[in-house]
Structure formats: structure tokens, C-alpha cells
A = this chain, B = another copy of it.
Amino acid sequence: MNRTNFKGSTREYVYEKIRESILSLELTPGTVISEKEISDDLEVSRTPVREAFLKLTEDELLTVLPQRGSFVTLIDLDHVEEARFLREQAEVGMMKLACHSFPESKRLDMLANIEKQKLAKEKEDEQALFLLDRDFHLFLAEGTNKKRVWQVIQRMDVHSQRLRKLSMNLKLNWNLLIEQHEAMVQAIEQKDERAGMEIMHEHLTLLQYDQSPLKAEFPDYFQ
């Protein structure tokens, strides 16, 4: 991705660029960066960089100390858990709504998505599985008219991505996850509110694993 073929303003370009660098751990937690440094690197002026910094500050991905400097925010496990908690509460609620009424077209989208998940699982394409999983949950949000909620959750949830990156050897049990996805669609079809909520609860509780080994291995990256 470079500036010329990026659709959107320079500000958005810079924001996405830095954001990706932070989430991929190219910029490790604690790394000091300055407006000038980035503007020189990306060959843009300080203004769009500064505006990107402000948005990154909102995300708590960057910490700015006025007149002193800026650095990539350290990972805060409390923050990660709060994001997971909010996501679970929101999606269980969406599931409840979905089991009451849900557009047929979205349900079909979800079914097709699950088939793609199975294919990706065969190919062991983790990246594709990650994106398909995202889309699956997005369909649920769209079908229950809660897209803004989904966006808020997504934005808060970025911090878990850095953890996932750190624990590269973490093998997700995709067979189970895909089974749960299937059970969700079934619950929606059968309007089985109790089953749907229960499965979603279990599904999102799986994300709650013991992160202390990571903190022990990379102490400098954590608060």
C-alpha cells in the first residue's frame, strides 16, 4: 500500500499505515515516534500525521505527551478483557434479537460464509479464516441492525490483535468454532433464543485464555 493507489485522504492513509504497523508489531509497544519522523518517512507534511496521531490516541494505540513525545501504547490486559466482555454482551444480545427475527438473505449469507470457512480450514488458510470469521459476525450485526455497535466493538477490540500476533503458536480450534457458527445459524432458523445465546456465550468465552505467559515472555510490551 502506498500513497498513490490509496483511496482516500492523506490523513486516512497515514492513519491506516501506522495502525497496521502497530497491530502487526512492526512498531512494538513502547516505541517512541514523532510527527516529524513519520512525516519524513511517508513523505507527507506534519498535518495529516498529526491528525492520524489524534485518532490513534482515541484508539489508545498511541500515547501522546504534550511537548515531550509520543510512543506506541503498551498492551493493557484489562483493556483486552473489557473489549472481549463488551463484545460478548453485545453479540449475545444480537443473537437474542436474531432468534426473534432475522432477514432470510443474511441467514443465507451466513450459511455460504460457513462453507467458505470449511474450505479455508481444509487449506489451513488462517488469514482467510480470520477474515471470514469477521464477516460472519458482521452479518449477524447487519441482520439485527446493529452495525454501529459492531464498529465500536471492532475498534475497541484491536488490542487483542497484538496479543494474537505475540502468541503465534496459538492454535485455534477452528473445527469447534465452525461448528458453533453452524449451531448459531440453526438456532436463528429455529428461533431457539436460549440455545443461540448459550452458544454465542461459549463461543466468545473461548477468547478468554491465560495471557500471563505472554506477559512473562515480553514484559516490556505490557503495562
- Interface residues of A, Cβ cutoff 8 Å to B: 9, 50-51, 54-55, 58, 66, 78-79, 82-83, 85-86, 88-90, 92-93, 145-146, 148-149, 152, 156
Residues of B within 8 Å of A90, CB to CB, are: 85-86, 89-90
- Cross-chain contact of A152 among B50, B78, B86 (Cβ < 8 A): B86
Q: With A51-B51, A148-B156 as known contacts, state yes or no: A93 contacts B82, CB within 8 Å.
A: no
A148 to chain B: which residues have CB within 8 Å? 78-79, 82-83, 156
A175 CB to nearest B CB, Å: 28
7 other A-B residue contacts (CB within 8 Å) besides A58-B58, A82-B148: A51-B51, A51-B54, A54-B54, A82-B145, A82-B146, A83-B148, A89-B93
> What's the Cα separation between A203 and B50 when bound, in Å?
42
A66 neighbours in B (Cβ, 8 Å): 9
